């Protein structure tokens, strides 16, 4: 970055996100599922377009007993899609407040597939297609990686792909 930093950019750099109380003392939190949300209009159309992400519950986080058996969870944040003042700060604050657990960062897809098999994972019950259809497309990058990883791991692929 060069030395020409605007006052606005300086203010952005100095901003400290306001973390929820449950995250201020570290990442000993528990996830509480609330009511399931659905679209305000065109419910069937939205459900058809986004079958794996529509009708999901609102999640809240509360302080947990640090000694409790903490299991990693995946959390997604949906912003309005429009101008959302501070939206990026919300994401940055969550990222900073929660320990990101990524045990497979330096592991090949084949090794991940083998690990899933050792754990008894039923690959027919998993979904990884970017297209988001009822069946895997078999063509996107994720589908291709899935096909290759299961093959290389010697695992029969039970996935239903589009014709």
User: Residue 151's pLDDT is what?
Assistant: 94
List of residues 6+ apart from 51 with CB closer than 8 A: 132, 134
The span from the CA of 157 to the CA of 147, in Å, is 7
List of residues 6+ apart from 79 with CB closer than 8 A: 87, 90
Residue written as token pair 């991940």: 112
Average pLDDT score, the chain: 77
3-state secondary structure 88-136: HHHHHHHHHHCCCCCCCCCCCHHHHHHHHHHCCCCHHHCCCCCCCCCCE
List of residues 6+ apart from 64 with CB closer than 8 A: 22, 28, 29, 30, 70
The span from the CA of 31 to the CA of 75, in Å, is 10
Structure confidence by residue, pLDDT tens digits, 44-77: 888 888 887 788 888 777 777 765 556 666 666 6
User: Residue 129's pLDDT is what?
Assistant: 87
In sequence order, what DSSP letters do the residues of 4-47 get, joined into one string? ---HHHHHHHH------HHHHT-S-EEEEEEEEP--SS-HHHHH
Beta bridge partners, 29, equal 63
User: Residue 70's pLDDT is what?
Assistant: 62
Structure confidence by residue, pLDDT tens digits, 4-60: 777 777 776 777 766 666 566 566 677 788 888 777 788 888 888 888 778 888 877
CB atoms within 10 A of CB 136: 22
């Amino acid at each position: 970055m060069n030395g020409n930093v605007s006052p606005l950019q300086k203010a952005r750099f100095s901003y400290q996100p306001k973390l929820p109380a449950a995250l201020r003392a570290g990442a000993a939190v528990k996830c509480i599922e609330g009511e399931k949300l659905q679209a305000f209009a065109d419910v069937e159309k939205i459900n058809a377009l986004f079958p794996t992400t529509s009708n999901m519950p609102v999640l809240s986080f509360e302080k947990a007993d640090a000694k409790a058996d903490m299991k990693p969870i995946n959390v997604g944040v949906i912003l309005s899609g429009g101008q959302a003042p501070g939206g990026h700060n919300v994401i940055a604050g969550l990222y900073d407040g929660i320990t990101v657990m990524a045990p497979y960062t330096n592991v090949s897809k084949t090794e991940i597939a083998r690990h899933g098999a050792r754990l008894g994972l039923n690959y027919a019950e998993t979904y990884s297609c970017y297209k988001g259809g009822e069946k895997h497309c078999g063509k996107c990058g994720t589908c291709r990686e899935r096909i290759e990883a299961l093959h290389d791991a010697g695992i029969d692929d039970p996935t239903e792909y589009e014709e």
